[in-house]
Amino acid sequence: MRKIIILTIAFSFLYSCEDDCTKVVNLPKYDHHKGFIDNYEEVPCDFEEPVTDPVNDPI
């Protein structure tokens, strides 16, 4: 009986320690009166940063 309790506690501890990695990034929003404003949001660590460079080079 004691081993079952210890195993149950061990399993619950292992599953509760999952890596819930998050980071805060600035995802600007557009406001008609102010232009772009800062919008800091918490996202998962595997979230790719928004593109800051132009996608297409000038012709």
Mean pLDDT of 36-59: 72
Q: With residue 46 as reference, give the H or E element that holds it.
A: none
Q: Which sequence spans correspond to the domains of the chain?
A: 19-46
DSSP code string of 2-50: HHHHHHHHHHHHHHHT----EEEEE--EEETTTEEE--EEEEETTPPPP
SS3 47: coil
Instruction: Say what the pLDDT of residue 42 is.
Output: 87
Please check the confidence at residue 56 and state whether its pLDDT lies above 80. Answer: no
How many CA atoms lie within 13 Å of 56's alpha carbon, on the beta-carbon side?
2
Structure confidence by residue, pLDDT tens digits, 2-44:
888 877 877 676 666 556 788 888 888 888 888 888 888 888 8
Q: Which tokens in the block code for residue 12?
A: 């619950």
**pTM exceeds 0.85, yes or no:** no
